[in-house]
Amino acid sequence: MADKDDLKEGKNFHTHVPQTNKPFFLKGAGSLDWGMQNRLSQIFNPITGRTVMLAFDHGYFQGPTTGIERIDISIAPLIPYADVLMCTRGALRTVIPSDTKKPIVLRCSGGQSILKELSNETIAVDIEDTLRLNASAMAAQVYIGAEYEHKSISNIVKLIDTGLRYGIPTLAVTGVGAEMDRDLRYFSLATRMCAEIGAHYIKSYYFEPGFEKVVAACPVPIVIAGGKKLSEIDALEMAYKAIDQGAAGVDMGRNIFQSDHPIAMIQAVNAVVHKNEGFKQAFQLYEEIRARSATIN
């Protein structure tokens, strides 16, 4: 029971010191509620404003992808070096240790396979399960210009609306159909639409020329997907150019887990994203870490 006899009057009111009202660091997120901002600051480093998301959700539509046939073996050693884990609830529950401190961005769309039309997705996770899993954000594909464009937009609208109810941000992933040109016109349309619909951040692909214009015209942060496996130096150069042109980080999968040395690669990507390292220096770091681990083994 509280000891009422020992109540003392407060003295330190600092009446001449105005309360600080620190603006939130993330682009376009200044007017969000505390829970949203808190979750976004788990995803984006408040010091650099950027993130290294490790994406290994590919199995939700293409099965055991090269490099993540066994997530427990290939992804677990990378977890300490990632800022965020992006995966399905199946992977999370079965192979990701629940004592991880890394924020989770949950793949919340699905319902199609690589054997069929990719844009024909549905919402594949209920908000209650997102909350049970303590996810920091939900993610779904938006297929602008594809056969099921409208359906994929409806999915993201529903996720955004439910997420707003519970303080969970939504990541819109621009899914590019095979027949679309990966150019300024397409990505400025797709990313801007996703932001105006209310997504809290957007995953796009890097392209040139004009990526910086897409970033400028998008009122929320853009992170880039890695896409198909490139040589390590080419992937680092792509990450470098994207960051240099305003991307707020990467959501990278194959170029990390299919690398010859995934642990070295994710650290090199981290140096580009958080330390503004040039891609050649980052590649040198990759080679050094790789050489060091070869000596140890």
What residues make contact with ligand R5P under the rule CB under 6 A? 55, 57-58, 86, 173, 225-227, 251-255
* Residue number, 37 or 174, with CB nearest to ligand R5P: 174
Tokens of 6: 């020992």
Three-state DSSP class for residue 203 = strand
Sign of CA dihedral 228, 47, 198, 217: negative
* Residue number, 130 or 255, with CB nearest to ligand R5P: 255
Rounded least distance, CB 53 to ligand R5P, Å: 8
Rounded least distance, CB 286 to ligand R5P, Å: 17
Rounded least distance, CB 147 to ligand R5P, Å: 17
CA distance 68 to 72: 9
Q: Which residue has the tokens 């994406």?
A: 55
* Residue number, 55 or 153, with CB nearest to ligand R5P: 55
Helix axes 279-296, 232-244, angle to 10 degrees: 140
Rounded least distance, CB 62 to ligand R5P, Å: 9
* Residue number, 32 or 238, with CB nearest to ligand R5P: 238
User: Is 4 one of the annotated active-site residues of the chain?
Assistant: no
Strands 109-110 and 122-123: antiparallel
- How far is residue 272 from each of residues 29, 104, 252, measured CA to CA in Å? 24, 22, 13
Residue among 203, 213, 229, 241 flagged as catalytic: 203
- Show which residues are catalytic: 203
